[in-house]
Amino acid sequence: MPVAFTTRDLTKTYGEGRSAVHALRGVDVEIPAGEIVVMLGASGSGKSTLLNILGGLDRPSSGTVHFRDLCLTDLNDARLTRFRRQHVGFVFQFYNLMPSLTARENVELVTEIAENPMAPEEALEVVGLKQRVDHFPSQLSGGEQQRVAIARAIAKQPEVLFCDEPTGALDSATGRAVLEVLHEVNARLGATVLMVTHAANIAGMAHRVIRLADGQIREVEVNATRIAPAEVVW
């Protein structure tokens, strides 16, 4: 299995002196391409910090990150931005949609600057919103808005989709619908999906589960069998 990301002795410290917070303390991890990987850990264990560094939104204090054979830690800001634009998509807990734009227009914001985008309608079809392309966010439910955010993230055909608590603001039925979409994006489009969550039950649908504690990898587990998104309970 080809590797999407490799980190070596990654550290991240926020602040300095007595107020320094050691968010990551020597992380060595490999994320295989084409998998759904779930990162679990207590609040403050460093999950979001690691996700943001892998996605090129933030930089480590020390250590290296490779995306395939591209060393992200060597890139200047302009090249790191290009890496993000070409290779990765992000989905956050709060959907960050533009309220004055329709679903289609929200997706177009990304497809207009992407190199090899899908048509916005196609991305909205993948997430099951073909009939809602001309609706504004206020006319959509929370789960539907999150699906627009996923459509926006996948429309540029990223190799990796980073999701930080993508179901955190959703009830269980709506959350399952969103997980179904993430499962589809992995199975149908072949994107690596890297998801941070507090909901341990979501780990059952992953190929691989990474547990963090105190800024370090505590355990990496490969699921012998996976459950379907519809079976996830929380």
Ligand X SMILES: Nc1ncnc2c1ncn2[C@@H]1O[C@H](COP(=O)(O)OP(=O)(O)OP(=O)(O)O)[C@@H](O)[C@H]1O
- Check residue 2 and give left, alpha or beta (phi > 0: left; psi -120 to 50: alpha): beta
Q: CB neighbours of 46 closer than 8 A, spacing ≥ 6?
A: 12, 23, 24, 27, 212, 214, 215, 216
3-class state of residue 90 by DSSP: strand
Q: Please, which residue, 43 or 116, has the CB nearer to ligand X?
A: 43
Q: Which of 4, 47, 117, 157 binds ligand X (CB under 6 A)?
A: 47
- The number of CA neighbours under 13 Å toward the Cβ of 39 is 28
When asked if residue 166 is in the footprint of ligand X (CB under 6 A), the reply is: no
Among 7, 45, 186, 192, which residue sits at the site for ligand X (rule: CB under 6 A)? 45
How many helices (H) and strands (E) the chain has is answered by 6, 10
In the complex, what is the shortest distance from the CB of residue 29 to ligand X, in angstroms, rounded to a whole number?
14
Residue 65 CB, nearest distance to ligand X (Å)? 15
Q: Which stretch binds ligand X (CB under 6 A): 14-22, 103-111, 133-141, 167-175?
A: 14-22
**Per CB under 6 A, 208 contacts ligand X:** no
If binding is defined by CB under 6 A, does position 146 make contact with ligand X? no
Using only C-alpha atoms, the chain has a radius of gyration, in whole angstroms, of: 17
Residue 15 CB, nearest approach to ligand X (Å): 6
Minimum separation from the CB atom of position 54 to ligand X (A): 12
Distance of CA 207 to the CA centre of its chain: 15
| Tokens standing for residue 97 | 């949609």
Nearest alpha carbon to residue 170 among 186, 181, 155: 181
Site string for ligand X, 18-37 (x = CB under 6 A): ---x-x--------------
Task: List the x/- string, 65-94, binding to ligand X by CB under 6 A.
Answer: ------------------------------
Q: Nearest 10 degrees: CA dihedral of 18, 24, 221, 92?
A: 110
Binding piece for ligand X, criterion CB under 6 A, among 13-21, 59-67, 89-97, 121-129: 13-21
**Euclidean distance between CA atoms 66 and 64, whole angstroms:** 7
Q: Which residue lies nearer to ligand X by CB, 14 or 94?
A: 14
Give the single-character DSSP code of 117.
Answer: P
Q: Does residue 234 interact with ligand X by CB under 6 A? A: no
Least Cα distance to 163 among 58, 60, 37 occurs for 37
Between 38 and 124, CB nearer to ligand X:
38
User: Under the rule (CB under 6 A), what is the footprint of ligand X?
Assistant: 14-15, 21, 23, 41, 43-49, 198
